[in-house]
Amino acid sequence: MKTSSNLWEYRLQSEDSGHKYLSILLHKFHFSAKLLQRLKQGERVWVNGQFTYLTARGKEGDLLSIQLVSDEEANLQGEDLPLDILYEDDYLLAVNKPVGQVVHPNRRYPEHTLANAVTGHWERKGENRLYRPIHRIDRNTSGVVVIAKNQFAHQQLAWQLERGHIHKRYLGFVEGVVPEDEGTIDDPIGFAPNSFIKRQIHPDGMTARTHFRVLRRYSCATFLEFILETGRTHQIRVHCEGFGHPLIGDDLYSGTKTLLDRHALHSSMYAFLHPSSGLPMVIRAPFPEDLRLLVIKLRDFVATTQE
């Protein structure tokens, strides 16, 4: 398989002979039905340099070429805002989102969002693209957010996400000392009563599974690594409250803001297969300054209590 900025190419193998190009793209490379439908509009599919229909059947050695759509009408107003770029190519943009910024505009935060910053970045590069985040993190969670730069990249990563092939790692500080070195919280999550924002553990909720590992214990807190097997809204925050150790600073879920004025959670790593090359990708975001200062406070607290 070979790719450039807008061209996807694959040379058919022996097992592909006799199969329709449509079937190869759908079942072998997980092209979505929506993307395949779009490819039918205009001469976007070639075999050995000649236009072909997706319903045609291939043979070993055929060079299948797909013209991917890159320029699209932007769906948001771009803004000239700071953007901490961790990685970018023709298919992906990965950024380190700061605390206090929402991923997508909403009624409460209609502007100055990550979406506005990313759109403005692309506009300055002369690129017209739709904003397609692969996942979202809360306004006061810092760290990695991955954005697809075209429809193909988005549906490829969405396919990986749905099947649990994307690995997300979070770092967080919870109140109290967690006795277990590691464990799994397997409690379903649903809406809390009379709230469109807050969630709670509920037997009729959606399946939610969080793996945790203790990285360090302090006298009044624990530093944890979280690996998400599912991606429910507020999942880590709800699960931490549920097992009696709310995130430091998370007053929505029983935490206190004595040491930190936001919930102490950082999206530190996002691992997946590149949608074009299929090669493993690992995106990491550095530890934010406010959590570094929190570590100092926790160390000082230990020293104070020991004196």
Positions marked catalytic: 138
* Helix, strand, coil % in the chain, rounded to nearest 5: 25, 30, 50
Neighbours of 82 (CB within 10 A): 7
Distance CA 241, CA 232 (A): 15
Count Cα neighbours of 245 within 13 Å in the Cβ-side half-sphere.
21
Neighbours of 128 (CB within 10 A): 13
Distance CA 190, CA 203 (A): 8
Quote the distance between the C-alpha of residue 291 and its chain's center.
Answer: 21
Q: Which residues of 253-277 are buried (b: 16+ CB within 10 A; e: fewer)?
A: bebeeebbebbbbbbbbbebebbbe
Residue 226 identity: F
C-beta of residue 283 within 8 angstroms of C-beta of residue 269? yes
Distance CA 286, CA 288 (A): 6
Burial (CB count <10 Å: 0-12, 13-18, 19+), residue 71 = exposed
